[in-house]
Structure 1
C-alpha cells in the first residue's frame, strides 16, 4: 500500500511540475486586475542616437531634380520594392564607419556619431545650402535609419536576422514578425543584448508582465540580439501539455511493468 501511495504521489508531482501553465504563455499580464479594466500607460522613449555600422537612408529633393541625382543613387535601381530591399540599402545607403562618419557627395565626410536623425538632417541641410544649393532651390532632406535590424534566436518560430522598416518598433512586434515564441520558450526571462558606443550590455525582460513596457529594451534599437531561453520542461521531455505528460508517464510505466514481468518469468 505504501508503495502504491508513493507512486501516486510521484505521478501527481510529475504531472504538475512538467506541464506548462497558462501564466507562462500569456503576454503582458496585469496581476490583480480584471479583464474588463483598462489602464492607459504613457511611455517615454529617447530618440535613437546613431552608432557605428548603422546604415542611413538619405533622400534629397529640390525643384531641379537633376541637381540631386548624385545624392540619390537608389532612384535608378528599379521599382520601390527593390530600392527598399536590404541588399540595395546596404550598397547604396550611407554606412557609419568606425570613426562615426558617413561620406556624402560634395560634402565629403560628415560626422554623425551620437547624433539623432533630426540633428543629422539639419546638419546636412545647412551644409548643402551653404556649399551647393541656393535657398530658392527649395531643398528638402529626409534622413532615416535603413530599417530596424535585429537578430532573434532560441525558442522562436523563425530564428534569424530580420529588418523592420519602421521608425519605431517594440520587442513584441519583433517576436511576432519572427513566428512567435514556441510553447517551450521562457517568456519570463527574455535576454536582450544591446550595442552601445562603449560596448555591449545585457538586459532581461519579463514579457508575461504588463510592466515589460517600462523596460529600456521594450522598444527595439538597431542590431539588438534577442535570445529566448528554453523552459525546464523541454529538457525533462515529459510533455508541454497535460495530455502529453499523461501519455509519457503511461508509456514509461508500461515499459517498467513489462520489464519487471519479463524479469520474473526468466
Structure 2
C-alpha cells in the first residue's frame, strides 16, 4: 500500500514544479474595445530634437543653383551619380550630418548658428524655410533625424539596439523588433527609460492594460531603453538547477519501475 502513496506524492511534486499562468498575466491590451484612447495627443507632436542628435537637412528650389550654398557637400556618392542639392540621384542619399551641440544649436551654411533643440522635424523645416526664403525663392527644406535608436533588454527573444527609420515607434513595435517577450517576461511591468532636459526619467507600463496607449512613454523617443523584467518563476529558477525538472521526471520513472518490479 505504500507504493501508491509514493506515486501520488511524486505526481503532486511534479504539479508543484509546473506553474499555471492565467490569461490576465499574458494577453496584451485586455478590454481594448472599452478603452478611451487619446492617441493624437501622444502621436502627432513628433520627435523633439535633442542635444547630440544627428540631422540631415537638404534644401532644394526651382532654381537649384541658388539652393546649393545651403547644402553640405555630399560624401560617398557612387561614381557617375549626379548631385542635386546634396542628393545622389542615381544612388541613395549621402548627406553629411549636422550635430546638435550642448547648447541645442547647429551651424548651418549661410545662416550661421541656428537653434534647433526642442523643435520637431516639421517645425525646424518651417523655421529654415522662412530664413532661406530671404535668399532663395520657394525653397523646399527636408529634415531627417538619423540617430533614432532604441534598446530593448531583458526577457525578450532577441535583445539589442535597433535603428528606426519611422518617426513614430510604439512600444509594441519596438518589442516586435526584439522578437516579443518570452513567456517569462512580466507584461504588467515593462520599464521605459529616457532622457529629458538632461535628466533621466522612467515609467513602468502595463501591457495588459488597454489604457497603456495613453501613456507619454507608449511612443518611444531616440535613445530610449526598454527593459522587460523576468517574472517570479523565472527569478526563483535562477537560484535552482535548471535540470531539476528533468531529475524529478527521471526519479518518477525509476519509482514506477521499482513498483512494477516489486509487484
With the length of structure 2 as denominator, give the TM-score of the two structures: 0.74
* Aligned counterpart, 1:122: 126
* 1:112-261 equivalent positions in 2, closer than 5 A: 112-130=116-134, 133-134=135-136, 137-146=137-146, 148-237=148-237, 249-251=248-250, 253=252
* Aligned counterpart, 2:53: 54
CA distance in 2, matches of 1:216, 1:99: 25
1:41 aligns with 2:37: yes
Contact between 1:55 and 1:95, CA under 8 Å: does it hold in 2?
yes
Question: What is the Cα deviation at residue 39 of structure 1?
Answer: 6.4
Contact between 1:147 and 1:165, CA under 8 Å: does it hold in 2?
no
* Aligned counterpart, 1:14: 17
Deviates more, 1:207-216 or 1:217-226: 207-216
CA distance in 2, matches of 1:180, 1:112: 35
Question: Can you give the 5+ residue segments of structure 1 that lack an aligned partner in the other structure?
Answer: 32-36, 239-243, 259-266
Deviates more, 1:22-31 or 1:244-253: 244-253
Question: What is the Cα deviation at residue 230 of structure 1?
Answer: 1.5
What secondary structure does 2:219 align onto? Answer: coil
With the length of structure 1 as denominator, give the TM-score of the two structures: 0.74
What secondary structure does 1:229 align onto? Answer: strand
Question: What is the Cα deviation at residue 253 of structure 1?
Answer: 4.8
Task: Tell me the alpha carbon deviations over residues 106-156 of structure 1, each in whole angstroms, 9 at most, x when there is no partner.
Answer: 1222111222323322221222222xx23xx32111223226311111122
Task: Tell me the alpha carbon deviations over residues 201-246 of structure 1, each in whole angstroms, 9 at most, x when there is no partner.
Answer: 12111112212111221111111111111223224449xxxxx997
Task: Tell me the alpha carbon deviations over residues 169-206 of structure 1, each in whole angstroms, 9 at most, x when there is no partner.
Answer: 21111111222222222221111101111311121111
CA distance in 2, matches of 1:246, 1:21: 21
Question: What is the Cα deviation at residue 100 of structure 1?
Answer: 0.8
What secondary structure does 2:141 align onto? Answer: strand
CA distance in 2, matches of 1:62, 1:221: 31
* Aligned counterpart, 2:27: 26
Query: Cα 1:252–1:224, aligned 2, differ >3 Å: closer, same or farther?
Result: farther
CA distance in 2, matches of 1:105, 1:147: 21
Question: Can you give the 5+ residue segments of structure 2 that lack an aligned partner in the other structure?
Answer: 79-87, 257-263
Q: In proportion to residue count, which structure has more strand?
A: 2
CA distance in 1, matches of 2:148, 2:233: 33
CA distance in 2, matches of 1:82, 1:179: 32
What secondary structure does 1:67 align onto? Answer: helix
* Aligned counterpart, 1:34: none
Query: Cα 1:254–1:237, aligned 2, differ >3 Å: closer, same or farther?
Result: farther
CA distance in 1, matches of 2:15, 2:165: 49
